[in-house]
Amino acid sequence: MLSVEQYATLAALFLDNCRRHANRQTYYCKNNDGIWNSFSFREIEQIVTKLSFGLSASSVGKGDRVGIISNNRPEWAMADFATICLGGVTVSIYPTLVPNQIKYIIINSEAKVVFVEDKAQAEKIVSFIEDTTFLEMMVVMDNSSIDHPASITWDQLLEKSKQEIKMRSLEVLINAVRSGDLATLIYTSGTTGDPKGVMLTHENIISDLISVHQVTPTDETDVHLSFLPLSHSFERTVGHFGVFGVGGEIHYAENIETVGANIMVVRPTVFMSVPRFYEKMYKKILDYVANKTFIKQKIFWWAINIGKKALRFRMTHQSVPLGLKFRCAVADRLVFTMIREKFGGRLKHCISGAAPLSNKIGEFFGAVGIVILEGYGLTETSPVMTASSINDFKFGTVGKPIPGMEVKIAEDGEIMNRGSNNMLGYYKDEEATRDTIDEDGWLHTGDIGEFDGDRFLRITDRKKNIIVTSGGKNVAPSPLENSLIASKYVEQSLAIGDERNFISALIVPAFEVLKGYAEKEGIKFDDSEDLVKDERILSLYDGIVNKAMKNFSRYESIRKFELLSNEWTINSGELTPTLKIKRRIIEEKYVDLIDKMYNSTTIKSEGANEKNI
């Protein structure tokens, strides 16, 4: 297990593990021929050494900012470590951003060099490079040739290192790095205004990493499938630094669409994702079962119920009764093994973060032997504040404060954090820093939550997302939305009602499942638009909404809804790169539809038909 004493900096973590695991393979990536290539830790050290000295030969020194714009791949990780070992500051930039957004980050961070994945990303930089003052060089990872004097290829940068390597060793560079040095600038993907650059030091990240490992330990036998953006602090800290820091295997998914197929090949032992992935897997499984015979469906749900009963004993550290243990073994043979194989068959546990996971989905996977451990944090807290462990978890919560961190609830319900994982502040924004971190060192998260009697933290919602109805009632939208998406027919949802007299919702159906339902019911349609307008489909969703709202009081229940014909995506601008919904953007886009709901006198969700849900 990692210890604070073992590593003072990320640079030291890198070098020690390269030497300790020199002959082991990691950084697996599928090439154009469909073959998974990998690098040994020794090869990675050699490449990172050349990159560091190549940057040094290009006048990049300690404290200089180096941007990275790329999807997850070995070169991303090595460019990051090369910058860090040089004493530089990595500026992680989402590859989904448009040129104007990238331009803001490059200029604000005063980046001197930027690594880009390919020609498409390079063209974004070329479109504004003449407007920048500090940017001197662009390095193209896939060795594409770009017709611009500031552009060089990855291989050319490696070549530039030759003279520098003869004069100094990588250890000399690493030994000059201090724990309090700035390691990275991560720009928040906010939904309003310009993003803020979160300043994280080596100590911030290392201290958080050590605490996380105490709660959910990993080691060199672990295999991780990386597909959440490395630009985000969650994947970067836990998946990138964390797995490399114990000598584990990292496999890079081809893209987010191939994760399901990649997971079957890689067969990870640990898996990190946002709730959206688990929701999709859950719905696919339910849809698969719904098309089986009546007997097979009965067996499936019998097994799930048995699994849930056994899980309750395990969660409270009690022995499972012999009879239940036998039935669970039968259920495992008939059902559970098949589902676990969808995740590769050797998972120790899954981790979920960035948004709340539905209790229903957590219990379902827990019943089949796939425990999803929820955690919570912010980019500003490096990022983890609370986490669940395999021996101490509770559905509907995000675990307990990790060792060494203080977490408390303010009088207004806001969650606050104090510890060595708190950021230095926002780059060039002292006012925003003062607004976030008070004089006593407490970081105000902007989230509302509460501790239960066992010190498990439960998140209610973002403070700014709380709906205040015209009647003065406060309503948290997330619980309503999570209750809706627990239905296999609901892909996405957004609750609305600020300054309105009741709560409504926009719902994106799970069209793959819905089309199957429509075909069975003899509902004719040409496209998704036809489906969402059909009265029989609307009746189905009446029932779904009504059922989902059963455990909510009347004032917070969804009273009206509209079905949308298109899914919200990153490319269409409604989701952040970490798949969070951009509420303001969606409300602005569908303002006419929303107004229509409130101008209408009919309330669809009352007296609903719950058949076939």
Q: Given this model, what pLDDT does residue 189 score?
A: 64
pLDDT at 465: 83
Determine how β-strand 223-226 pairs with β-strand 400-401: unpaired
- Band (pLDDT 50/70/90 cuts) for residue 601 is low
Q: Reply yes or no on whether the pLDDT at 611 is more than 60.
A: no
CATH code for the domain in which residue 587 is found? 3.30.300.30
What is the predicted pLDDT for the residue at 107? 97
**E strand or H helix at 79, and its extent?**
helix 74-85
308: three-class secondary structure by DSSP: helix
In the predicted model, what is the mean pLDDT of the chain? Answer: 92
**Same domain, yes or no, for 322 and 400?**
yes
Same domain, 396 and 488: no
pLDDT band at 407 (very low <50, low <70, confident <90, very high): very high
pLDDT tens track for 209-240: 999 999 999 999 999 999 999 998 999 999 99
Answer yes or no: do 123 and 261 share one domain.
yes
With the CA atoms of 385, 390, 394 and 399 taken in that order, what torsion angle do they form, in degrees rounded to the nearest 10? -10
Q: Give 286-339 pLDDT, tens digit per residue.
A: 989 988 999 999 999 999 999 999 999 999 889 999 999 999 999 999 999 999
- Reported as a single tens digit per residue, the pLDDT across 170-197 is 999 999 999 999 999 999 865 456 889 9
Confirm whether 203 is domain-assigned.
no
- Is pLDDT of 603 > 60? no
- The answer to whether residues 29 and 37 touch, using CB atoms and an 8 Å cutoff, is yes
Write down the pLDDT at residue 565.
94
Same-domain pairing of 317 and 400: yes
- Among 210, 240, 269, give the residue marking a domain's end: 269
Give the total number of structural domains in the chain: 3
Q: How far apart are CA 86 and CA 63, in angstroms?
A: 9
What's the pLDDT band for 118 if we cut at 50, 70, 90?
very high
User: Longest Cα pair distance anywhere in the chain, in angstroms?
Assistant: 79
Pair 255, 284 in one domain: no
| 136 in the same domain as 69 | yes
How many CB atoms within 10 Å of residue 599? 7
Cα atoms found within 13 Å of the Cα of residue 9, Cβ hemisphere only = 24
Helix residue spans in 168-258 (DSSP H): 170-175, 202-215, 233-234, 242-244
Q: Is 148 a domain residue? A: yes
Domain boundary among 244, 269, 294: 269
* Residue 609 reports pLDDT greater than 70: no
* CATH number where 420 lies: 2.30.38.10
Whether residue 373 lies inside any domain: the answer is: yes
What is the reported pLDDT for 463?
A: 79
Report the 10 Å Cβ neighbour count for 148: 14
Q: List phi, psi (to 5°) of 183.
A: -105, -35
Q: Range of 498's domain?
A: 466-599
Distance in angstroms (rounded) separating the CA atoms of residues 126 and 276:
34
Half-sphere exposure (Cβ direction) of 22: Cα atoms closer than 13 Å: 4
Q: How much is the pLDDT for 612? A: 40
Q: What is the mean pLDDT of residues 39-66?
A: 97
What is the C-alpha separation between 429 and 102, in angstroms, rounded? 18
Average pLDDT (191-208) is: 88
Q: What is the pLDDT of residue 280?
A: 87
**Chain centroid, CA 342 distance in Å:** 20
Percent of residues, the chain, with pLDDT higher than 70 = 96
At 102, the pLDDT band (50, 70, 90 cuts) reads: very high
Q: Looking at the domain assignment, is residue 195 inside a domain?
A: no
Percent of the chain with pLDDT over 90: 78
Query: Contacts by 542-545 with C-beta closer than 8 Å and gap 24+?
Result: 542/604, 542/605, 542/608, 542/609, 543/608, 543/609, 543/610, 543/611, 543/612, 543/613, 544/484, 544/487, 544/489, 544/490, 544/613, 545/484, 545/505, 545/507, 545/604, 545/605, 545/608
